[in-house]
Amino acid sequence: MTSSRVSRYEHILDDETATPVDGWVGLDLSERLPDGEGYAYGQFAGRFWEDLYIPETEWQGMIEEREQKQGQLSDRIRHKQLAPLNQGNTNYCWANAPVHCLELVRMKQNQPLVRLSPASVAAPIKHFANRGGWGRDAIRWLAERGAVPVGSWPANSREQKYYNDSNRELAKNYMVREWVECQPRNLSQMVSLLLRGVPLAAGYNWWGHEVTLTDAIWLDGEVAIRFRNSWGNWGDYGFGIVRGSKMLADDLVGPYSGSMT
Amino acid sequence: MLTLLLALNLLLDEGNSPFPMTAVPQADPQPAPVADEPHPIGTVQREEFYILQSEAPLLVVASPPGLVEITHEQGPLMARGRFAGGDGKTETRMLLGNHLYFIDAVKSGTVELIVIPVGATEAEQIQRQLVEVQAGPRPPPQPDTDTDTDTEPEPDGIPVDDTGGFRVLLLLDETADPDTLTAVDSLQTVKWLDDNTDDWRRWDRSTAETDGELDKEEPVWRRIWQAARPALPEGPQLLIIQGQTITVRPLTSQVVQELEVSR
């Protein structure tokens, strides 16, 4: 195997490229207080456990096999024509990535494809202000209350009228129970989960942004990561590539399963 | 007890049955009666070789699971021991197939061996053979008798209130190996499930086993889960639901081939 196939429209972000500036971001890790091992989600996510590791020596072969069998998450996303999220002019990237992870888990579970509103998660947490946040804020909300479908709460609306009893009840159908957290900047944990088909919400300090990681790929003799942005049709159908030191996330969490509705 | 030795690279004719066959006299000048035609051996016994031989790779599936263990070895091999269909004495045989599938008795009962050539596209290419598994010590010769054995037949499926169609449930847990995950994630599997089932699900087992998690799932899936859960073995499982019957098999990287057989 030489390299994974990368579309010419996919933006490649590496140590040489400038930080993309053509969209809103919103990651704020100032409240992330890691323990001695770097974990920070407490009771809201399980810690990455040893059994999940896939040895680095197997990465290239597994990537090749997943690509040959079209088993990457990006393959399924394209097959199901699940359009990328667009956070518009909100600072809610930190909710867009976890909500997209939930959508992807539901897609994997073959549940009806229901588009979910990131603002229905982020706006109540931030008292309907357009403020940044971080992953734990969102996954705590998703685990305890869920997300509202966009048909009942527009994706980027911060209007308080949507936070009503009806929507609160509706959101209980779209929750994530089980999350797994990785240590910051831990490539082995990140790649192991992606090779197991787990989407990841990844916060990058260098970008001030949180995106959804979908695939481990092989590029120029090294592992790299395919991610999905929340800037609409940025890149190729929302997909871009990050590699080198830039791919090491400062905050990383993924859903193991969503609610079964 | 048994010794396997790498031996000569001899070939079998293509198209032969992979199942071990009863012996027939080689030099009998008289036409053999029908009853003496070679036919697949119908008993797998502990301490006895039961081997499927093939030039091409096969997928060999046992239904129900758990009665036999299937091990693939590259051939040709020389094997010494007692053989199914032999005279009960230890002997040495050359196993000529490039692909050898050793069927070992685990638990007594009746099992169907389903043999699918890798890459098969036609149902006619699939071969099936019912065999009796005797997992205890080799029984002494018995006088003719009409009494049944004490062995309870293995149930062929779990009954469920009519689900009205063909459904599949992929049940995964943290012990699923990466090859199985890759197969389950592949578009081939997804498309097969989309095209051939009335509906399907992929669940995380621990979530499904949590009280209340299925309360808002469709009633048919709740019925399936209620019926199947008490009988589910540990580990990732493939549940095939056809009308009023749930068949449970280990979920492996051969998931599409398993489904093809079951359809």
What does the alpha-carbon distance between residue A218 and residue A61 come to, in Å, rounded to a whole number?
10
* SS3 at position B244: coil
Best residue of A179, A257, A261 to probe chain B, by most B CBs closer than 10 Å: A257
Nearest to A196 among B178, B183, B188 (CB): B178
Q: Report the interhelical angle of B187-196 vs A73-80 (nearest 10°).
A: 40
Q: Chain B: nearest CA to A230, how far in angstroms?
A: 24
- Assess whether pLDDT exceeds 70 at residue B4: no
| Sequence-distant (≥ 6) Cβ neighbours of residue A70 within 8 angstroms | A79, B186, B187, B188
What token pair was written down for B237? 């499982």
pLDDT of residue B175: 87
Rounded to a whole number of angstroms, the CA Rg of chain A reads 17
* Confidence band of A1 (pLDDT split at 50, 70, 90): low
Q: How far does Cα A179 stand from its chain's mean position? A: 12
Contacts of B200 in chain A (CB under 8 A): 110
- Assess whether pLDDT exceeds 50 at residue B143: no
% of residues, chain B, pLDDT over 70: 78
Of residues A18 and B167, the one with the higher pLDDT is B167
Q: Which of A215-219, B37-41, B258-262 has the highest mean pLDDT?
A: A215-219
Tell which residue, B150, B115, B147, B113, has the closest CA to residue B134: B150
pLDDT of residue A71: 96
Average pLDDT over residues A210-232: 97
% of residues, chain A, pLDDT over 70: 99
As a 3-state breakdown, chain B gives helix, strand, coil percent values, each rounded to 5, of 20, 35, 50
What token pair was written down for A233? 């049709």
What does the alpha-carbon distance between residue A211 and residue A229 come to, in Å, rounded to a whole number?
5
pLDDT of residue B73: 80
B217: contact with A, CB 8 A cutoff:
yes
pLDDT of residue A228: 98
Mean pLDDT for all residues in chain A: 95
Mean pLDDT for all residues in chain B: 79
Average pLDDT over residues A195-216: 97
Contacts of A113 in chain B (CB under 8 A): none
* Confidence band of B137 (pLDDT split at 50, 70, 90): low
Chains A and B: how many Cβ contacts under 8 Å?
Answer: 81
* Confidence band of B91 (pLDDT split at 50, 70, 90): confident
pLDDT of residue B156: 67
Whether A196 sits inside 8 A of B181 (CB atoms) is yes
pLDDT of residue B5: 35
pLDDT of residue B24: 54
Q: Is B137 exposed, middle or buried (0-12, 13-18, 19+ CB in 10 A)?
A: exposed
What does the alpha-carbon distance between residue A250 and residue B5 come to, in Å, rounded to a whole number?
55
- Assess whether pLDDT exceeds 50 at residue B151: no
Say what the pTM is. 0.72
* Confidence band of A3 (pLDDT split at 50, 70, 90): confident
pLDDT of residue B145: 45
- Assess whether pLDDT exceeds 60 at residue A91: yes
Of residues A180 and B68, the one with the higher pLDDT is A180
Tell me how far CA of residue A23 lies from CA of A59, B90, B206, in angstroms: 32, 77, 39
Cβ proximity of B241 and B167 under 8 Å: yes
Q: Which residues of B17-55 are buried (b: 16+ CB within 10 A; e: fewer)?
A: ebbbeeeeeeeeeeeeeeeeeeebbeebbeebbbbbbbb
B209: contact with A, CB 8 A cutoff:
no
Average pLDDT over residues A40-64: 94
Q: What is the DSSP string of A18-34?
A: PPP-SS---B--TT---
pLDDT in tens, A129-178: 999 999 999 999 999 999 999 999 999 999 999 999 999 999 999 998 78
Average pLDDT over residues B87-96: 76
Q: What is the ipTM of this complex?
A: 0.89
Average pLDDT over residues B153-182: 86
Best residue of B167, B205, B206, B207 to probe chain A, by most A CBs closer than 10 Å: B207
Best residue of A105, A110, A192, A198 to probe chain B, by most B CBs closer than 10 Å: A110
pLDDT of residue A6: 93
Minimal Cα distance from A77: which residue of B? B187
pLDDT of residue B37: 61
The tokens 């009988």 sit on which residue? Answer: B231
pLDDT of residue A92: 98
Average pLDDT over residues B22-34: 49
pLDDT in tens, A196-205: 999 999 999 9
* Confidence band of A261 (pLDDT split at 50, 70, 90): confident
- Assess whether pLDDT exceeds 70 at residue B11: no
B173: contact with A, CB 8 A cutoff:
no
B226: contact with A, CB 8 A cutoff:
no
pLDDT of residue B146: 46
